[in-house]
Amino acid sequence: MNGKYGIGIMSGTSLDGIDVVLIKIDGYGLDTNLHVVAFDTIPFNVELRNKIKKCISIKDSDSQLICSLNFELGHAFSNAVKVLCKKINFDVENIDFIGSHGQTIFHIPNDVGEFKRSTLQIGEPAIIAYEIGCTVVSNFRTMDIAAGGQGAPLVPLSEYILYKSNKNRVLQNIGGIGNVTVIPKNSRLDDVFAFDTGPGNMIIDETVFRLTGEKYDKNGEIAARGKIIYRLLDDLMKNKYIYQSPPKTTGRELFGAQFVHKILKKCDNEKIEDIIATVTMFTAKSIEYNYKNYIEPKYTIEEVIIGGGGSYNNTLLSMMKDIMPNYKILTQEELGFSSESKEAIAFAILANETLEGSFGNITAATGAYERVILGNITPAPKKFI
């Protein structure tokens, strides 16, 4: 296969680490062909994770820390690339470009009072470009917002390229946040739409951490031992975001630590496993509600393909299958893809689109007025491309 070597870097809302993928890619747009060479997740150390948590907290953040963390993350992203390449004995000098999403500090999808629609991802691309020696595309979300969109979701283009088929497919990513891409059978790109369904792993992980000290519920084992607290589930399902019609996008600012704090205040006498089972079901039920009300009226869902870290939560998958028995629910692994590498691949593809002068957003997903070229290009220090 001819083509270029590209790197995709993703640091998501789950804060588990840096996802980095090396791909070989040829062509662009609907003529894209790619091969995944290697993928790895480089965990954040405790100190760096805590700095990120502080920066994304409205209560604890400060401008000096954000300024410093922007460069510290640039070095961390560069190191992740080097670690992956060393692991497979691949010379970094052969990398043609990098697509780096950055770490989201805050995302405001719509004007709220005095706060304007905006987004901020950090992880200085100049550091990456200098240390690796290649062109870096970053800051993908801002141009979509400039064009009237919400800056998310941006994964649908890559999903359409990789998963279009003769079936009505729904791709459900369960990262920190849950987001869905709808690819109708035999569709054109203009037929694709996407939106954030609500919480993914974010509430589950934060609840597990506060109640047990663990980072997450491995394989859903704690939730599997619990029983649903229906009064709590009913209360959670009253959240206004769940009922909001697409296009819509959300994040840690809505379903983060403060949200979990409010949940736990209502659960003083409840068993730990019951609380975790209930917030796990909340993710499943929020997905079901969005399918029933915002997808099924347009298309009959034939396949649901689950990706992201949530695809490894067996209890969450079982809950989804129980409450949505009419859908064929698969994981990306069952189709020969990797759930973990999905978003990193997406931003490598988007970087390639940008460097080819091709549009990267889908208006039915983000709500933008028009399709636009995404991202900022930081040239290599001694060559442009």
pLDDT reported for residue 337: 85
Tens-digit pLDDT profile for residues 41-75: 999 999 999 999 999 998 899 999 999 999 999 99
pLDDT score for 1: 74
> What pLDDT, on the 0 to 100 scale, is given for residue 13?
80
pLDDT (tens digit per residue) in 325-340: 999 999 999 988 888 8
Which H, E and C letters describe the chain, residue by residue? CCCEEEEEEEECCCCCEEEEEEEEEECCHHHCEEEEEEEEEEECCHHHHHHHHHHCCCCCCCHHHHHHHHHHHHHHHHHHHHHHHHHCCCCHHHCCEEEEEEEEEEEECCCECCECCEEEEECCHHHHHHHHCCEEEECCHHHHHHCCCCCCCCCHHHHHHHHCCCCCEEEEEECCEEEEEEECCCCCHHHCEEEEEEECCHHHHHHHHHHHCCCCCHHHHHHHCCCCCHHHHHHHCCCHHHHCCCCCCCCHHHHCHHHHHHHHHCCCCCCHHHHHHHHHHHHHHHHHHHHHHHHCCCCCCCEEEEECHHHHCHHHHHHHHHHCCCCEEEEHHHHCCCCCCHHHHHHHHHHHHHHCCCCCCCHHHHCCCCCCCCCEEECECCECC
Which pLDDT score is estimated for 385? 57
Residue 384: pLDDT over 90: no
For the segment 7-18, what is each residue's pLDDT rounded down to a tens digit? 999 998 888 899
User: Is 18 marked as binding a ligand?
Assistant: yes
Is 17 annotated as belonging to a binding site?
Answer: yes
Query: All domains of the chain, ordered by start, with CATH?
Result: 4-151+345-378 (3.30.420.40), 156-335 (3.30.420.40)
List, for residues 239-282, the tens digit of each pLDDT value.
999 999 999 999 988 999 999 999 999 998 999 999 999 999 99
Q: Say whether 16 counts as a known binding-site residue.
A: yes
Average pLDDT over residues 25-35: 96
User: pLDDT tens digits, residue range 115-159?
Assistant: 999 999 999 999 999 999 999 999 999 999 999 999 999 999 999
Is 12 within any annotated ligand binding site? yes
The arithmetic mean of pLDDT across residues 378-385, rounded, is 81
Mean pLDDT of the chain: 96
Mean pLDDT of 366-370: 97
15 is in an annotated binding site: yes
For 271-283, the pLDDT digits (tens) are 999 999 999 999 9
pLDDT band (50, 70, 90) for residue 108: very high
pLDDT number for residue 296: 97
